[in-house]
Amino acid sequence: MSEIRILVLTSSTGGGHDARAEAFAEWCFHLYRHKVDVRIEQMLEKSSVVNRVGVDFYNWIQCKAHFLHTAYYSFIELLSLLNRNNVSFGRAYYEKVVREYRPHLVFSVHDCLNRGYFQLARKILGPDNVRCATFCGEFSGGWGYSINWIEPTADLYVSRTSTASDYAVKKGIPPDKARVRGHLMHPRSYVEVLATAEERAEFRVKKLELEPNLFTVFLTTGSNGANNHLELLPALVRHADRCQAIVVCGRNHETYNQLIHWRALHPEFNLYLEGYSNQVHMLMQASDAVVSRGGTTTCAKALHYRCPIIFNAFGGIMPQESLTWKFFRNGSAAKKIGSAEDFSVLIDHWMDDPASYARNRENFLGLRYEEDPTILIDELVQLAEQAAGVGVTRYPFPLPV
């Protein structure tokens, strides 16, 4: 049995929370091998019918009815009252998991899984036997930053940007518990890298069957498949001699099937197409710009891989997305499109005036900072070590050849 046990609380409202949970588990294995056991629980879905319905409704809104998201967000904020010191919905399942697994660290990567959950874990296990930590993936603060993220009793509160961290402190997180630690991406994001222009051109040709030097636009989507691909592609086809596209559809089989047909009807245009992709980090590196709704995971990868973002605001920007948009708008004058016409105007401008794209990219890169992703993992494991009363062996990353 592993010497250290860490319980990660997540939920599939979008794909970002789960992605960070999985990334943390992968890092722990790379750095600590079998000495650290990570158990990921999709706590909302598994603990309560009410919670599961709420998750499904959230994902339906993302795909079909963005106009409902503000009302839904406002309603969910009431959980801050229900879960102030305890777990209201799904307590029985959570309590069962904590009693059976007896984690040394409860690590939340979801806003609705902090308040109450930390207090209940301490009550069950004893305050000296468990530590609690939060990773908040928001880029900035303000409207859209859920008050449910703010649990002042957390032993460690991690933000991805100083802007978001300052806001968390303003809302009640003790300054000595707050850290800025970057994006919590998979280890492969740091080792599977196209380091040169030659490597990127080779990847485009050999892996994607695209042209090596055409301007490449990445039309992406979240795991649930919400997208506007068919509306955006005509703007790119008009410049088929100068640009090409990479398109992923998530789990939206209908859009994928439509695009298979669309591609057959446009042989003059270079298009790489995937459904749900496990190589987004590589596709991002092969692209010159990405169209995204403002999901934090996609935008973090775009920043990491120096790929400027065009924010998709079709149907409006949802509260949580507004935090990401605000960060990139204020920091780099990022571009936003609300219609196919907006996208067409932007692409026409970039094709006719490449220097305007270069300026946009330069502004975008000004938001980057270099990070050591292992620092966060070590800090979290050290918290668990404190509760367990043991130390565990740490391996280097990447492992020596």
pLDDT band at 211 (very low <50, low <70, confident <90, very high): very high
* Domains detected in the chain: 4-187+373-388 (3.40.50), 194-365 (3.40.50.2000)
Q: Are 50 and 89 in contact (CB under 8 A)?
A: yes
- Higher per-residue pLDDT: 238 or 144: 238
Residue 305 tokens, joined: 């891989």
pLDDT band at 1 (very low <50, low <70, confident <90, very high): low
Residue 312 tokens, joined: 């998709």
Return the H-helix or E-strand segment holding 241: none
Angle between helix axes 229-237 and 340-352 (nearest 10 degrees) is 30
- Higher per-residue pLDDT: 18 or 155: 155
pLDDT band at 79 (very low <50, low <70, confident <90, very high): low
pLDDT band at 401 (very low <50, low <70, confident <90, very high): very low
pLDDT at 51 (0 to 100): 74
The contacts of residue 318 (CB under 8 Å, 6+ apart) are 61, 62, 66, 69, 70, 73, 144, 294
pLDDT at 291 (0 to 100): 95
- Higher per-residue pLDDT: 239 or 85: 239
Mean pLDDT within 232-259: 93
How far apart are the C-alpha atoms of 214 and 354, rounded to whole Å?
A: 12
- Higher per-residue pLDDT: 225 or 380: 380
Task: Tell me the average pLDDT of the chain.
Answer: 90
Alpha carbon of residue 127 to chain centroid: 31
Helix (H, G, I), strand (E, B) or coil at 41: strand
Length of the chain as a residue count:
401
pLDDT at 224 (0 to 100): 60
How far apart are the C-alpha atoms of 161 and 183, rounded to whole Å?
A: 9
Alpha carbon of residue 100 to chain centroid: 30
Per the listing, tokens 């987004």 go with: 280
Farthest CA pair distance, the chain: 66
Considering only 218-227, 260-269, 309-318, which range has the smallest mean pLDDT?
A: 218-227
pLDDT at 50 (0 to 100): 75
How far apart are the C-alpha atoms of 382 and 308, rounded to whole Å?
A: 36
pLDDT band at 77 (very low <50, low <70, confident <90, very high): confident
Mean pLDDT within 127-152: 94
pLDDT tens digits along 111-120? 989 999 999 9
pLDDT higher than 80, residue 321: yes
pLDDT tens digits along 348-399? 999 999 999 999 999 999 999 888 999 999 999 999 999 999 999 999 887 5
The pTM of this model reads 0.90
**Considering the chain, what percentage of its residues have pLDDT values greater than 70?**
94
Beta bridge partners of 124: none
Considering only 76-85, 171-180, 280-289, which range has the smallest mean pLDDT?
A: 76-85
pLDDT band at 289 (very low <50, low <70, confident <90, very high): very high
Closest residue by Cα to residue 334 from 314, 304, 299, 360: 360
pLDDT at 371 (0 to 100): 85
pLDDT higher than 70, residue 99: yes
How would you class 382 by CB atoms within 10 Å of its CB: exposed for 0-12, middle for 13-18, buried for 19 or more?
middle
How far apart are the C-alpha atoms of 284 and 306, rounded to whole Å?
A: 9
22-26 — which CB contacts under 8 Å span 24+ positions?
A: 22/186, 23/184, 23/185, 23/186, 23/187, 24/107, 24/109, 24/135, 24/184, 24/377, 24/380, 26/186, 26/187
pLDDT tens digits along 322-336? 899 999 999 998 999
Q: Report cis status (omega within 30 of 0) of the bond before 319.
A: no
